[in-house]
Every structure is written in C-alpha cells, then in structure tokens.
Structure 1
Amino acid sequence: MSNYDLLTLGRSSIDLYSANVGSPFEEIKAFNAFVGGCPLNIATGSQRLGLKTAILTGVGNDQVGLFIRHFLEQEGIATQWVPVIDGTRSSAVILGIEPPDKFPLVYYRDNCADINLSLDHVAALPFASFRAAVFSGTAFSKDPSRTAMFYALEQAQKNKVTCILDIDFRADQWFDPRAFGVTLRAALGKFNVVVGTEEEILATYLTDQGQLLIRNQQISAPEIQGNIDQAIDEIMLVGVETLVVKRGKEGASIFQPGQPEIKVPGFPVEVLNVLGAGDAFCAGFSYGLLNGWSLFKSVRMGNACGAIIVTREGCANFMPTYDEVMTFVDHRGGL
C-alpha cells in the first residue's frame, strides 16, 4: 500500500522576488525571500490541496539549504530524501516583476546541489511507497542528475508508479537548447502523462537555435517558432497516454491516442506575476488525477490553481489550499 500520494524530483531554490512590483530590474531596491523550483512548487501546491507529498532534491551544506528544508518541513512535505551534498551550493534565483508581460529571471546554479543528485540518492527512494511521481525537464539537463532521473524513471515504472513529466524548459540551463529536445525525446515514451506549454512542446522538437527568442531574460517564457500541431502529433506517436497542453488564458487541451482534442476553459483573472503558474497547474491536475477525477475536471482544477497563483506575488509560498480553490471556482462556474 502506498504511503505517499506524490513524489516530485529535481530543482529547489531560494527565490528572491522584487519587492518593487513594476520597477525595471535595474531599479529594484529590495527583494523578498521565498522558495521555488518546479518540483518544490508542485510538491507544495499538492500538499496544500491535500495530497501527501515527498520530494527528492539536493541542498548544499549552507544556510540557504537550511532555509529550503525549513520551508518544506513547515509545509509537512517529507524531506528524508533531501540530501545535503557537500561541495555544492543550494540554488538561487533572482526575479523581477513588471506586469503585465515582463518577468526576468537570473539563475545562480553553478555547481548547484540539485543537479548533483546521484544514482545512490535515487536508489534510496522506496518507489513502491508512491502512487505518482512528477519529473521536471531541467533535472535532465546535466549529469549526474540526468542519469539519476533516467534511473528514477526506470524504477518508478517497475513499481507501477504513474509517471508525470512537467516539460519545464529553461533554455539557459542547457549547453545548447537543442540538447533539451534530444534528451527529452529519449524519455517521453516512458511517461504516462506529459504536461507543457505550447512553447515547451515546440522546444522538445527544436532543431534550429534561430527558432528560439528570449526577450528581457524571460527564461520561463521563450518565443519559439514551429508547428505546434506537428509537435503534438510527434509526442503522441512515442506512446504517451495523455498529453496536456497549457494554453495560458485560453485554458488547456487534452490529447490521447485516437481521441479528439478536449479543450478545457481557463479562469480569466488580472495577472500580477505569471511565474509559478505552470507548477500550480500541475499540482491541481495531480490532485484531481490521484483522486480519480475525470481528465477534464482534473485539468480544470489545474487551470484554477494556475489562475489563482498569477494573481499573487510568488510561487511556493503562495500556493492555494483546497478550500481557497473551491471558493475561487464556486464564483466562476465551478469545475
């Protein structure tokens, strides 16, 4: 019998958000300290909704690592698989907030702890204790984490754990953005569910660096040229059971082999900060999936969580609770 609903694997960081919303990055006077990283955000969002979650990430032997662990413990997220990796540093991110459309990011990930997760760290995980596992694309960007993630995926499959991929494309974390697609394509067919934005799905099949444009250092919001329908078809051909395409304010779409596209409407809101919206979506979607909801209702739940988080200042620290989401949707037509 599973002891945990959800395991997330990969990135964690201290996130320093501009305290001067609307100020150009060079004019920021102060920052607020939160935590972040795709897997940590998803774990937090899922835990607050009511799932029992655990995380595999790495921290350095430093005060930032203590900051991250303290947050996880306060949230009730299992941290026994969060190793302190000597000789590394805990990751950090600095973020600007210039709504409605400028959200620059600066990563500090040289020799960061989470990219040094190893085969031994994965081997310590009791995969039979988890119902589902969420992997993030960035964890595949470098070794030893890359090999550790392939091994974790292999072990999860052996233990019949539902495997979910949050594509999580961050171009500057790869030695060549085309390497992202080459690596992810080797893993796609092993996942039960793949979740990504249109840009992330296009990035998975990026063949020319000229297709990629990042304005104002918005690493999380690249502009990518390509044929989205063809990219979706390619993903479905490798054996993915369910593909969820996040389409921003338009909501999301569900694709399954031999089935027509299912469009799931979103929840229009006024945007303060788009960072973390995709992670909130994955938390809400995972909650629905693991509670036996229909795919439509699960994606609608993801849309609601994403809509809530874009109205708030940050990511993990601001993830909504189940009651908050239900109150939100009850005033907007329900799930």
Structure 2
Amino acid sequence: MGEAVEAKYPPLDVITIGRASVDLYGQQIGSRLEDITSFAKSVGGCPANISVGTARLGLRSALLTRVGDEQMGRFIREQLRREGVSVEALKTDKERLTALVLLSVEDEGVSPMIFYRSDCADMALAEEDIDEAFIASARAVVVTGTHFSRPNSDAAQRKAIRLMKAKGGKVVFDIDYRPNLWGLAGHAEGFERYVKSDRVSAQLKTVLPDCDLIVGTEEEIMIASGADDCLSALKTIRTLSAATIVLKRGAKGCIVYDGPISDDLEDGVVGEGFPIEIYNVLGAGDAFMSGFLRGWLGGESFATAATWANACGAFAVSRLLCAPEYPTFEELQFFLKHGSKHLALRKDEAINHIHWATTRRRDIFQLDAVLAS
C-alpha cells in the first residue's frame, strides 16, 4: 500500500464500524416502557458509543457507517462532530431511516428496549462504503457482531478487515451479541442477552482468525465459539485465533488472556471491578471497550488497560445515558486517583464538575461580533 494512499486522510487511532442509532431513554426510572411519558435523546449503538468513548479519552476516532437523510441522521452527525469524532466515512443513505431504540430502566440490571431497525440506514452498509485510503489512515479497526448478520454488511466489515491486515494494523472484534438483531427473539425481547444459535456461531467463528483483540461477555464468548460453557468457549476461540481475549464480567471486572487457556478460568490478567451502584447497565460494555482501547493502543500493560476499562464501565452503569455519560480522560484519572465517597458516581459533585468542564463545546461565543451586527 503506497504512501499516496495513506496520506489522503488525517491519521486516526481507531475506526469503529456498525450500528449508529438514536437512543430514547425513558426518564421515569423504575417504570415499565409501557408507562414512560418522556424520553432523553442521545447517540447510541455499540460502535457509535465506542467512537465517542475513545475520543473522550484522547484517541483519534472515526465512525464508519450510514445514517438517514433526516433529522435523526443529522443529529448523530452533529453530535459526533462536537465530540471530535471523524465523520469522513459517515455516509448519508437517502432511502433509509436512521435506527431508533426505546429504552427504560425498570429495575437494577433490567432495562427493556425496543429496536426500530427495519431496513435501517446502518444495516445497508456495503463494500463500496469501505474506502481503502480511509482504512489505511488508522492504526486499528473495530468490527462488531450485529453487522455480520447480513450479507452486505458482513462483506463490508470483512473488506475493512482485509485492508487493515494488509497495512499491518490491528483488528478488534466486539462480539456485541443482540439475539433479536439476528432474528432469534421477538421485538419485545431487545434486552435478551443470549440465545444459542449454531448459525450465528458458525458465522462468527470465521471472523476470529483475523482478530488481534476479541472482547465479550461470558454469553458473547459462548456464541462466538459455539461452546456451552465459558471455559470451553475460551479454549475453542484459542484454537481458532491467537488474539488477546478479554472476558467482561460486569461488576466482577474482567480477565485478559494473552496466551494458552488453562483449566483455571482465573488464569489470566485479572482486572478487578469497582464497587458502584448499578443504575443502568446499557452501554457499559461500550464504555469498557473505550477504556481498554485507550490503554491497549497506547502501549499500556494489560493490567492498566483493564483498570481503565473497568473504571469507564463503572461510570456508565452509574449514569442514565450511554455516550454522553462516558468519562473524559481527565475525569477518569481523577476518579482513579481520588476515588469517590459515592457508590452512585452521578451524585459526586467533584466528578460531575470535571465531566461538565471537559465535555463543553470548544466554540467561543463572540459577543462583540453580535453587538456590531
């Protein structure tokens, strides 16, 4: 791959590929979706969230997908720009609508959700959307599970993988398993985490050999391998891939495996979780991935990357929305140095001030220009 190809775009650390939606979060906490009367709007979807999360942590990130040619698509584009995420590869689909998701926090760890994704813009992603020079501008690409569920988006992600490997970059796989997005659960089962499927496992197993980093929960590790328990799943993945494997364990933290898988599940780099009140689990995995990528791509140890990942996940579960609630690097470092007396980080005034101060728009209001007009 020549220098002219690589110089076409500004350099990036990471490109994320796949879902980009508008999340509508019910604001009546503890209520069923049936009873919600008002919603808060934010950018959502695994790769969109990761693009924002990594940008807030100081990485040069981009989102590669499609949005609709309407107000919600423009909302996503404008919000990403405000966050410093490159939208060079964010395509506008003039025929399809931007995806929507309705969500509520009904109880601790229970968040019903409805995906409005019938023929949505991001699932129309195709090979022609993958520009060789754009992929060449990045150090890593993140592919995500849902976009292997359709032939066109599957082909698009595999093209990105081939191009990234050809230039010697890193391929990251966020398994991101949502059974009903594979047609395995009903519309009301958006929160369903695991449905065994030989079809899905067979599809995802073909992705594993090309990966440098594979990240998933116990259920996601099982679906990617086809095995019926976590240890067997890890061993199966290791037979197919030399990638670093990160097992997300929620409040228990994570384990990083960078070599052979022994019979002891704990035989890896164990990243301890943080004692945080669980307020909303949705989006926590994307915050986790953002923190891990900040460490991993920055050359930090697995232990440091795991700590940053778990801390970012803790911020996410302690707040309502997804991407808007993720920490900046300054916020993360303050928390790791000083901790918090609150199990609910959203109640910590010092942390909230840093969050507010470090996520403001950089546009400076010119009062003199207004007065002169």
Partner of 2:255: 253
Identical pairs, percent:
37
- Deviation track 1:122-171 (CA, whole Å, cap 9, x = no partner) reads 13552221011111111111131111111111111111111111100000
1:287-311 deviation per Cα after TM superposition (whole angstroms, max 9, x unaligned): 0011110011101110000001110
Deviation at 1:244, TM superposition (A): 0.3
Shift of the alpha carbon at 1:332? 4.1
CA deviation vs aligned residue, 1:176-234 (integer Å, no higher than 9, x gap): 54432111101111000000001111122448xxxxxxxxxxxxxxxxxx211000100
The answer to whether the aligner puts 1:281 opposite 2:288 as a matched pair is yes
Within-5 A mapping of 1:186-201: 186-201=206-221
Residue 41 (structure 2) aligns with = 33
User: What is the SS of the residue equivalent to 1:324?
Assistant: helix
What residue in structure 2 maps to residue 221 of structure 1?
none
Q: Does 1:116 align with 2:124?
A: yes
Q: Choose the corresponding residue for 1:312, options 311, 319, 322.
A: 319
Is 1:322 aligned to 2:308, yes or no? no
Given that 1:81 and 1:124 are in contact with CA atoms closer than 8 Å, whether structure 2 keeps it comes out as no
Spell out the pairing of 1:66-215 with structure 2 (5 A cutoff): 66-123=74-131, 125-176=133-184, 177-206=197-226
List runs of 5+ in structure 2 lacking aligned partners.
1-5, 185-196, 262-266, 341-373
1:122 corresponds to which letter in structure 2? I
Q: Which moved more, 1:167-176 or 1:256-265?
A: 256-265
Matched residues in 2 for 1:111 and 1:91: separation? 9
The one-letter code of the counterpart of 2:28 is N
**Cα distance in 2 for residues equivalent to 1:309 and 1:317:** 9
Aligned partner of 2:18 in structure 1 is: 10
Separation in structure 2 between the aligned mates of residue 67 and residue 43 of structure 1, nearest angstrom = 15
Larger deviation, residues 93-102 vs 116-125: 116-125
SS at match of 2:281: coil
Q: Which residue identity is paired with 2:241?
A: G
Contact kept, 8 Å, 2:14 with 2:60, in 1: the verdict is yes
Contact 1:267–1:332, Cα closer than 8 Å, also in 2 = no
Aligned residue for 1:290? 297
Equivalent residue, structure 2, for 1:241: 243
Between the aligned partners of 2:303 and 2:107, the Cα distance in structure 1 is 30
How far apart, CA to CA, are the structure 2 residues paired with 1:82 and 1:127? 13
What is the CA distance between 1:70 and its match in structure 2?
0.9
How far off its partner does 1:268 sit?
A: 1.3
Over 3 Å counting, the alpha-carbon distance change for 1:160 and 1:124 in structure 2 is: closer
8 Å contact 2:225–2:237 — kept in the other structure?
A: no
**C-alpha distance in 1, partners of 2:73/2:303?**
38
- Contact map agreement 1:14 1:35 (CA 8 A) in 2: yes
C-alpha distance 125-20 of structure 1, shift in aligned 2 (>3 A): farther
Cα separation, 2, equivalents of 1:102 and 1:197: 17
Q: What TM-score, normalized by structure 2, do the two folds share? A: 0.81
Coordinate RMSD, CA, aligned: 1.6
Which structure would you say has the larger RCO, counting Cα contacts within 8 Å and 6 or more residues apart?
1
Unaligned 5+ runs, structure 1: 208-225
Paired AA for residue 199 in structure 2: A
The match for 2:69 among 57, 61, 64 is 61
C-alpha separation in 2, matches of 1:6 and 1:79: 13
